[in-house]
Amino acid sequence: YTEYEVPYTRIIEHKHFEYGTQPRTVITREYPASWSRGDEPYYAMNNEKNNSLYAKYKALADEEGHVIFGGRLGMYKYFDMDDTIAVALDCVKKELD
């Protein structure tokens, strides 16, 4: 979760891990560390300022030849691993077509 209003960054439901067949589950929420000057943020916050900044970077990236900007850094957003793989495969398909 990258919304500014949501205090946690991830929810994990443990019964969905490999071989989870139990009738009940445990949910874990991951909370980010408090940021202090000099700390590096983990992910971009999806707010108006950062979305505008991304649009400028995207326009510059689109002008580059023979370079693919992808993943969390290249697309300036958080991805779950399954989404990361899907986006990477779509990118490769687009390049090879």
Task: Report the 10 Å Cβ neighbour count for 21.
Answer: 5
What is the per-residue pLDDT across 15-25, written as a single tens digit (0 to 9) for each?
Answer: 887 777 788 88
pTM of the model: 0.50
Residue found by looking up tokens 């960054």 in the block: 9
Closest by CA to 2, choosing from 47, 57, 38, is 47
Region of 19 (left: φ > 0; alpha: ψ -120 to 50; beta: rest) is: left
Structure tokens at 20: 């989870």
How does pLDDT run across 58-94, given as a tens digit for each residue?
Answer: 999 899 888 888 877 788 877 788 888 899 899 899 8
